[in-house]
Amino acid sequence: MYRGGYTGRILRINLTDQSIKTEPLPENLARSYIGGAGFGIKLLFDEVKKGIDPLGPENKLIFAPGPLTGTSVPCASRMAITSKSPLTGAVGMSLTGGYFPVELKFAGFDVMIIEGRSEKPVYISIKDDSVKIRSAEKVWGMKTTDTQQIIKNELNDQNTRIACIGPAGENLSRLACIINELRAAGRKGLGAVMGSKNLKAIAVRGSGSVNIASNEKLKTARDFMAKEMKNSPVLYPQFAKLGTPMVVDALSELGIFPGKNYGETGVFVPVEEIGVKTQLTRNMGKEHCYGCPVGCSQLKLAKTGEYAGIMSEGPEFETMYSFGGTTGVDNIDAIIAADRISDELGIDTISAGVTIAFAMELYEKGIIDKKDTGGIELKFGNYRVMVDMLRLMAYREGFGDVLSDGSKKAAERIGKDSYKYAMHVKGLELPGYDVRGAKAHGLNYATSYTGADHNRGYAFQEIFGIPIPEPVDRFSIKGKGALTKWNQDVRSATCDAPTMCAFLLDMAVPAVATQNTSNLLEAVTGLTFTPDEIEKVGERMNNLARLFNAREGFGRKDDNLPDRILTEPIKNGNSKGSFISRKELDTMLDEYYSARGWDREGTPTKAKLEELGL
């Protein structure tokens, strides 16, 4: 049935009984969900029962590249990892690029499902059809770079690609991520799910290739996309040179680069210290994901003080925010160090930094003191404390244990008024946009099926001023319900499912995203979708994820924003005075639910589900 793009096979590995099975990919899956996160959400919904412990053997980890992965389509090196998130209890989906996803396709799999729980630490090795569960005794406890190297040595294959967890995942930190090379499937604690299964790593190498339905159509589709990429005023001229960290300057100008746990946005604006000009003094060169002509990933080297010589791939913008702006740290070398240390420990930089910033505010406000922190001076701007805290969190040592599961759970343990300063939605810490000055972006945080997640419905209209589908006022709530639906559905369908790099959508093809995906899918897979049908797949994904979350008890009450965003205006800068009032959020939610065809409680209506075939 599959003419191209798909291998047609699911690899299912049960760590409890050590069984390894190959199953055919169900025929309807590709048509309805394309791949990647689409497959992830569908399989999670079907296979993971209500109410299970995300860190128990009943949870599953679903790795899914997309139909374009491993083809000559640029920017399609990615895969989605989907699970029930131990951080939020909702759908946990995180994407990562590099080379691992491509090797999984080359090995012959569209999906890999990991089930159960091994008694002892193991890793999985995949070489085409040879799939083995091996003892991880040699690497258990190791950081991620060492883990990858030692497994390569043990398999006597330096070309194998490895996704693994570090100490944070082993210690079941709900902020733990999954690392391949120096890239992270960062958010929602998926590393803790691996850790809970006693699964240290997955090594994969494939010798196959991906069939193409029509090489001629593919050439046309690629040319179309390449032209859009070339015409982008941002993609090659700026983004390819600077990568995401250039956003520090842009957001500072807009007045929405979060400062000191959002208490000093527009006041603490370290653009001189960690903005583009300073970043360039630390730049070493770029790294490329498989088949990517852009290469946004920048290697940076810490150059002064105690962190000199520490190299990081990144830090990406989000990390500049989480270890920079929101912790009040303006030491670029400490941020670079913290980024690399996080990758080695396997802990999510956004959630870790935001959780530390939360604790810093509690400390400065006197809600916690040295007795609580074990003597640590958790003050804003104290970069040594920020760096050291990462290790304590990954190892659950001392006060690190309190922060190890993120700001929501930390606030529950600390009590008092601390919840007011915990910057999360549904347990997922806020990314680096003060949404008081970007309200569709805020609505997306409130409604994304993964919690506060910039990547599930990025409002590039507000952040970069791109007037597609139309110009917007970032301070206004007008039309933001429908806009957020569009942002979420298009993102899901054109990035998360096929799987394509999201930067392409934001920066190169926003006006023609669904057309572009339609072109590429037809060329590669032979399946035809109209642009509207593409968007509909995104809608289906968001609805099914919503149903999963509803089954877990989530509803309108959880489509919320942190107290501070709803009550406290930004103090200074170009977004001074702005906030999202409770009433504004409610209005936006009403409009959003209405645009989605959901009822007032945010539950998908029967009509909508039928329309989507759910």
Residue 586 interacts with a second copy (CB under 8 A)? Answer: no
Give yes or no for a contact between 426 and 440, defined as CB atoms under 8 angstroms apart. Answer: no
Residue 207 interacting with a second copy (CB under 8 A): no
Residues contacting residue 521 through CB under 8 Å, at least 6 positions apart = 5, 34, 67, 68, 498, 527, 529, 534
- Distance CA(18)–CA(6), nearest Å, equals 26
Torsions phi, psi for 472 (to 5 deg):
-135, 160
Task: Find the radius of gyration of the CA atoms of the chain.
Answer: 22
Rounded CA separation 448/373 (Å) = 33
Decide whether 148 or 327 has the Cβ nearer to a second copy: 148
| Per-position DSSP letters for 57-70, written without gaps between them | TT--EEEEE-TTTT
Q: How far apart are the first and last CA of the chain?
A: 23
- Nearest 5°: the CA angle 514, 515, 519 is 115
Nearest approach, Cβ of 133 to a second copy (angstroms)? 18
**What part of residues 385-404 is at the interface with a second copy (CB under 8 A)?**
391, 394-395
Site for a second copy contains 306 (CB under 8 A):
yes
Residue 25 to residue 76: CA distance in whole angstroms: 20
Q: For a second copy, which stretch binds (CB under 8 A), given 302-310, 367-375, 495-503, 518-526?
A: 302-310
x/- track of binding to a second copy for residues 70-89 (CB under 8 A) = --------------------
Binding to a second copy (CB under 8 A) within 2-31 occurs at none
Can residue 301 be called a binding residue for a second copy (CB under 8 A)? Answer: yes
The reply to whether 272 sits near a second copy by the rule CB under 8 A is no
Q: Is 374 in the site for a second copy (CB under 8 A)?
A: no
> Is the CB of 299 or the CB of 550 nearer to a second copy?
299
Find out whether the peptide bond into 245 is cis, omega within 30 degrees of 0.
no
The reply on whether position 333 binds a second copy by CB under 8 A is no
582-596 vs 439-447: helix crossing angle, rounded to 10: 70
Report the nearest approach of a second copy to the CB of residue 178 (Å).
17
Contacts of 594 by beta carbon, 8 Å cutoff, 6+ apart: 481
x/- contact string, 125-164, with a second copy (CB under 8 A)?
------------xxx-xxx-xx--xx-xx----xx-----
CB 390, min distance to a second copy, A: 11
Shortest Cβ 297–a second copy spacing (Å): 11
Kindly state whether residue 299 participates in binding a second copy, applying the rule CB under 8 A: yes
Q: φ and ψ at 211, to 5 degrees?
A: -65, 150
Nearest-approach distance from CB 143 to a second copy, in angstroms? 5
Considering only the stretches 57-65, 295-303, 378-386, 410-418, report the one whose residues sit in contact with a second copy under the rule CB under 8 A.
295-303
Interface residue with a second copy, options 90, 212, 310, 483 (CB under 8 A): 310
Strand order of the β-sheet with 297-301 is 283-287, 297-301, 311-313
> Least distance in Å: CB of 203 to a second copy?
13
Compute the least distance from the CB of residue 193 to a second copy, in Å. Answer: 20
Residues near 232 by beta carbon (within 8 Å), at least 6 away in sequence: 507, 508
Question: Does 345 sit near a second copy (CB under 8 A)?
Answer: yes
- Give min distance, CB of 79 to a second copy, in A: 20
Q: Phi, psi at residue 63, to the nearest 5°?
A: -95, 125
Check binding of 384 to a second copy (CB under 8 A): no
- Min separation Cβ 158 and a second copy, Å: 4
Residue 167 binding a second copy, by CB under 8 A: yes
Count CB-CB contacts under 10 A for residue 1.
9
What is d(CA 47, CA 405) in angstroms, rounded to the nearest whole number?
26
* Smaller CB separation from a second copy, 149 or 214: 149
Q: How far apart are CA 347 and CA 186, in angstroms?
A: 7
Retrieve residue 539's tokens: 């809608």
Taking alpha carbons only, the member of 183, 195, 177, 193 closest to residue 141 is: 195
The verdict on 287 binding a second copy (CB under 8 A) reads yes
Is the Cβ of residue 40 or residue 167 nearer to a second copy in the bound state?
Answer: 167
280 binds a second copy (CB under 8 A): no
Nearest CB to a second copy, comparing residues 276 and 299: 299
* Of 34 and 336, CB closest to a second copy: 336
Q: Does 222 bind a second copy (CB under 8 A)?
A: no
If one asks whether residue 284 binds a second copy (CB under 8 A), the answer comes out as: yes
DSSP-derived letter for residue 610 is H
613 binds a second copy (CB under 8 A): no
Distance CA 460, CA 296 (A): 18
Q: What are the Cα distances from residue 325, in Å, to 12, 148, 245, 299?
A: 42, 32, 12, 20
Residues that bind a second copy (CB under 8 A): 137-139, 141-143, 145-146, 149-150, 152-153, 158-159, 166-167, 284-285, 287, 299, 301, 303, 306, 308-311, 344-345, 391, 394-395
